[in-house]
Amino acid sequence: DQQVKQNSPSLSVQEGRISILNCDYTNSMFDYFLWYKKYPAEGPTFLISISSIKDKNEDGRFTVFLNKSAKHLSLHIVPSQPGDSAVYFCAASAGGGADGLTFGKGTHLIIQP
């Protein structure tokens, strides 16, 4: 049973526009959420995170929104740039990072010139 779901395998966005990547979760014990970015043949790199006590976290062009009642989070990238083309993974943890992360299947973001 998939506890973290990214329902869009791919997303195509024009350069300069906003990219919105979505993630849903089912485990109400999750209290920490992260987004990772992955290029081919490289390991995932940390992008941004949010604690369940917040509903928004912003870092430069990247903003993550958390809606706990809907068990939904989203990553906004504004403006989108060609270097943002990558696979984005949503991840969640419950009760402490030492237990490992539960990942979604990823969304392949393609930024078109």
Q: Which residues form the interface with other proteins (CB under 8 A)? A: 6, 9, 31-32, 34, 36, 41-46, 49, 51-53, 89, 91, 93, 95-106
Quick one: 70 or 98, whose CB is closer to other proteins? 98
**Cβ 29 vs Cβ 102: under 8 Å:** no
The whole-angstrom separation of Cα 107 and Cα 77 is: 14
What the block records as the tokens of 108 is 């392949």
Tokens 């992955």 -> residue: 38
Instruction: State the nearest-atom distance from the C-beta of 17 to other proteins, in Å.
Output: 26
With a CB cutoff of 8 Å and minimum separation 6, the contacts of 19 are 11, 13, 75, 76, 77, 78, 80, 84, 109, 111
Instruction: State the nearest-atom distance from the C-beta of 96 to other proteins, in Å.
Output: 4
Quick one: 53 or 70, whose CB is closer to other proteins? 53
Instruction: State the nearest-atom distance from the C-beta of 4 to other proteins, in Å.
Output: 8
Quick one: 42 or 70, whose CB is closer to other proteins? 42
Instruction: State the nearest-atom distance from the C-beta of 48 to other proteins, in Å.
Output: 10
Could you tell me what percentage of the chain is helix, strand and coil, using 3-state DSSP and rounding each to the nearest 5?
5, 55, 40
Quick one: 41 or 70, whose CB is closer to other proteins? 41
